[in-house]
Amino acid sequence: MAAAGDPQPEEFVYGEEDFVPQAGAWVDGPGSALSRFDRALLDGWSDRMERGFFRYRLGPLPTRLLPGPMRLVAQLNVQRGTERRPPQEVRSLRQPFDPRAFNFTRIRPGEVLLRLRRAGGGPAAPEPLLVAINASPLERGHVLLLPEPARALPQALTAPPLHAALEAVLLSAHPGFRVGFNGLGGCASVNHFHLHGFYLEQPLLVEAAPARPLGPQHGLSLLHDVPAPAFLFYAAGPAGLGALARDVCRAAEHLTDTGLACNLFATRGDPPEGPGAGGGRGLRVLLWGRRPRFGAKASAAFTVALCELAGYLPLPTAALYRDMSEAEALRAIREELLPEPQLLRLGRDLARLLAG
């Protein structure tokens, strides 16, 4: 039940006219122009910070690029390492939802910023989402994207809410607004369906690096020469996002069937061929298959989840932030991944699956 004086979420109804075909360029200064969606999210987020809804106050965070060709972004966030809720213990890739454990039916009503809904509805429309604060934020504007919590969905990718989350990326005019997903066994902290949305004021290599096609159909590619090789799906704009979300979820289900955990990262980026391929930037969706990690996730160590795989390293201690090198980070990241021959075989299997 809402407490007296709790702020109420904004009903955010959007249409085609709200999509931003090309986000602001990094050369213009990140955040130099914000969309209606950005303003609603960030204003609500700042309001909840002032009202004390977060576990800690978040100020500017020390950030540096690690020397090396991967351009890894290291950022120090001590409070997230010490103040966040302990992650849940994950025991399997298909662990059912447990109503006794912490879940998003327990969040305070004032933690919800927006009720995000596509105007018009219809069978092809994405699922409505709640945009709620992450009470232990990575960065300013860090939110959770949630389907109706009462549905009690476990943390496994499904297409309708993924479709809506991908549209949210295109509602932002900020080049650094990204969406991500940690699956069970892939460092998910809560077994209740959620995606992360956050702003990072730095470009990442995965947004421009070229990819190698894996099949003639569906545009599945292998993104290589990046911190963590990934399967790349690409859409030039919002029109194909429903089909893309279904393909991503079919691929993620295949990973689970083969005993692999998954992580996902969605961001503005160049076409798979790389910068200069024509047509401007669209939406890149990266999917990683990885060896699953079971048990409770450590909160004070360098853990490898969606951010680290994408080249963004939130670090919980000053010593890690000061001493981390690119070689050390890559070693830790690649310990979680498949050997290249197995990765290539998996890519061919996914290309056949999607073509069929």
Q: For the chain, what is the largest distance between any 2 Cα atoms, rounded to a whole number of angstroms?
A: 59
According to DSSP, the residues that pair with 195 across neighbouring strands are 145
CA distances for 206 relative to 16, 288, 298, angstroms: 27, 13, 26
Residue 45 is encoded by which pair of tokens? 């987020």
CA distances for 35 relative to 20, 131, 297, angstroms: 8, 16, 36
Contact by Cβ (8 Å): 53, 155: no
Q: Output b/e per residue, 264-278; b: 16+ Cβ within 10 A.
A: bbbbbbbbbeeeeee
Helix (H) or strand (E) holding 321: helix 318-323
Using CA atoms in the order 95, 99, 104, 106, what is the torsion angle rounded to 10 degrees?
A: -160
Helix (H) or strand (E) holding 102: none
Can 194 be counted among the known catalytic residues?
yes
Contact by Cβ (8 Å): 265, 209: no
From the candidates 192, 194, 196, 218, which is the catalytic residue?
Answer: 194
Q: Which residues are catalytic?
A: 194
